[in-house]
Amino acid sequence: MAKPNIKKGDTVIVIAGRDKGKTGKVVRVLHEDDKVIVERIAIVKRHRKPQGQNPGGILEKETPIHVSNVMLLCPSTNKPTRVGRKALDDGRHVRVARVSGEVVDAR
C-alpha cells in the first residue's frame, strides 16, 4: 500500500461531494479503507434510544470521506495542493507542497 499523503492534524479542503469547498482539520485517518474523518465535515444525524445513563436523542457525528475527495491546504499560500516527497541532505524524507515547494512536515 502506498504511503498516505494526508495525516492526522493536516488542514484539508473537500474537493468533491456535498461538502465541496469546506475546510477542516483531519481528526483520524482510516488506512485500511483509504478514508479520513475531518472535523465538522460530512455530518450526519443518528437517532439513539435511551440506554442506562445515556439520555438518547438525535446525535450528530462525522462520517469518513475518501482521501481522493480531499486535498491538503498549502501552509504558506492556503491553496489546495498535491503532495510530493523529497529527501533532505540529512537523510530524512519529508512531504512537500507542490504549489509552493514548501516542506509540509518532517518524519
pLDDT in tens, 31-82: 999 999 999 999 999 999 999 999 999 999 999 999 999 999 999 999 999 9
DSSP the chain: -PPPS--TT-EEEE-SSTTTT-EEEEEEEEGGGTEEEETTSSEEEEEE--BTTB--EEEEEE--EEGGGEEEEPTTT-SEE-EEEEE-TTS-EEEEETTT--EEEE-
Q: What average pLDDT does this structure show over 89-104? A: 93
